[in-house]
Amino acid sequence: MNAEFIQALDALEEEKGINKEELIQAIEASIESAYRKNYGGAQAVEVNFDRISGEIKVFTSWHVVDIVEDAETEKSIDEAREIDPDIQVGEICKIEIAPKDFGRIAAQNAKQLIFQRIKEAERNIVYNEFLERQDEVVTGLITRIERGVVYVDIGDGEGVMLPSEQIESEHYKVGQRIKVYMLMVKKTTKGPQITLSRTHPGLVKRLFESEVPEIYDGVVDIIGIAREAGSRTKIAMRANDENVDPVGSCVGYKGVRVQNIITELNGEKIDVIKFSDDICEFIANALSPAKVEEVLANKTEKMAYAVVDDFQFSLAIGKEGQNVRLAAKLTGWKIDIKSVSDFQKMLEENPDLRNEFTKEEKETESLIGEIKKEMDEVLKDDAGSGVLEEKDELSFDDFDMIDDESLEDVIKMDD
């Protein structure tokens, strides 16, 4: 070991990203292990690696005692003073050792360790690189297909696309370039294990982000995606600027933006939906391309009736129920499609049907209003007076601001 070895370690640190100090400490540990393995002994062994010259020294040590009970770990005071005349009982006697062929053994261990650490470092670098790109879309080249599993070369690594992550209507072949969603990156002893997907909704999300500048700039947000891969996707958009049309931004001039995404997904239909805080409007939009005449929403049960013209009924439901199924998934509500004629029959049987859907909501709003009014009255005489006067709405957080006595007064007044 010499200065050239130190220079080699410096080069490894710069080129491979291997921490020099960690490598030196590992070399010291490997040399110590090699000594114990080849020469045995239970005495303490210490390896010192000179960070400047590259010289390695190996020391063994004993405890200095009056009476030796373990010759491998202890030395008598007389024996110790032959090595160090000034040593005292209780101190450590240390001596440098240089067994025959130990330099060769140490060099072999160091060499093996360095190669091992280089491989580990390279695997870690690749793993970290792909970990940063998890949940992103990458372009790769299909290298082989075995037992339904598609292997894709994505640069410094190879990803796998399992059958469950493949679109049934797509046919993959070796040599084909393909865009895939990096679903998961897992660290293994053989390097990063990368799972790819063509079915994940994240693929559609990332394609829109790359195709629509307004999304990248934060002017338009993606609120939700409901997808049946290879067939149809519904994506809800909201504009953060009232002067921007979120649907128009995503569709693009003459539909060029959304068409690019459809082409990438091999003809998968995409409905771009305008999000609304009004759940009735949002449900109506989500059922596009069908035109909805009326929506009755029960917010307590998260269930809604969507009324459409008779000739729009099949379109609203979609082939095998796909349109309403995706709309329900996008909104998070259970949606029951009713034709106008069927809805009129329901109204004839129950004239108060509309009121029943909104009755509970109105009762809840009324109750909150009454509680707010009563609490305002109580708090006027309390130290917390005026807390609610500046609030337009009463939230559950407001209850934390009321002491127990005031809350008891409200309950008594309510009774």
Over residues 118-136, mean pLDDT:
80
C-alpha span between 40 and 62 (Å, rounded): 15
Q: Which of 69-73, 157-161, 239-243, 322-326 has the highest mean pLDDT?
A: 322-326
CB 273 within 8 A of CB 244: no
Considering the chain, tell me which residue range(s) the CATH 3.30.1480.10 domain(s) occupy: 3-129
- Span 311-369, pLDDT tens digits: 999 999 999 999 999 999 999 999 999 999 999 998 888 888 877 776 655 555 555 66
Between 97 and 64, the higher pLDDT residue: 64
Q: Which CATH topology does 216-275 take? A: GMP Synthetase; Chain A, domain 3 (3.30.300)
Fold of 280-351: GMP Synthetase; Chain A, domain 3 (3.30.300)
User: What pTM does this model have?
Assistant: 0.66
196-199 CB contacts, 8 Å cutoff, 24+ apart:
196/138, 196/140, 196/150, 196/152, 196/154, 196/159, 196/160, 196/161, 196/165, 197/161, 197/165, 198/161, 198/165, 198/166, 198/167, 198/170, 198/229, 199/164, 199/165, 199/166, 199/167, 199/227, 199/229, 199/230
Confidence of residue 407 (pLDDT cuts 50, 70, 90): very low
**Which part of the chain is CATH 3.30.300.20?**
216-275, 280-351
Neighbouring C-beta atoms of residue 67, cutoff 10 Å: 7
- 3-129, which class in CATH? alpha beta
Cβ–Cβ under 8 Å, residues 283 and 295? yes
Please report how many Cα atoms fall inside a 13 Å half-sphere around the Cα of residue 118, on the Cβ side.
Answer: 13
What are the residues whose beta carbons fall under 8 Å from the beta carbon of 230, sequence distance 6 or more? 167, 168, 169, 170, 199, 265, 266, 268
pLDDT tens, position by position, 173-228:
999 999 999 998 888 777 788 999 999 999 999 999 999 999 988 999 999 999 99
Radius of gyration of the chain from its Cα atoms, rounded to whole angstroms: 37
Intervals of CATH 2.40.50.140 along the chain: 144-197
On the question of pLDDT at 269 being above 60, the answer is: yes
Region 144-197: CATH code? 2.40.50.140
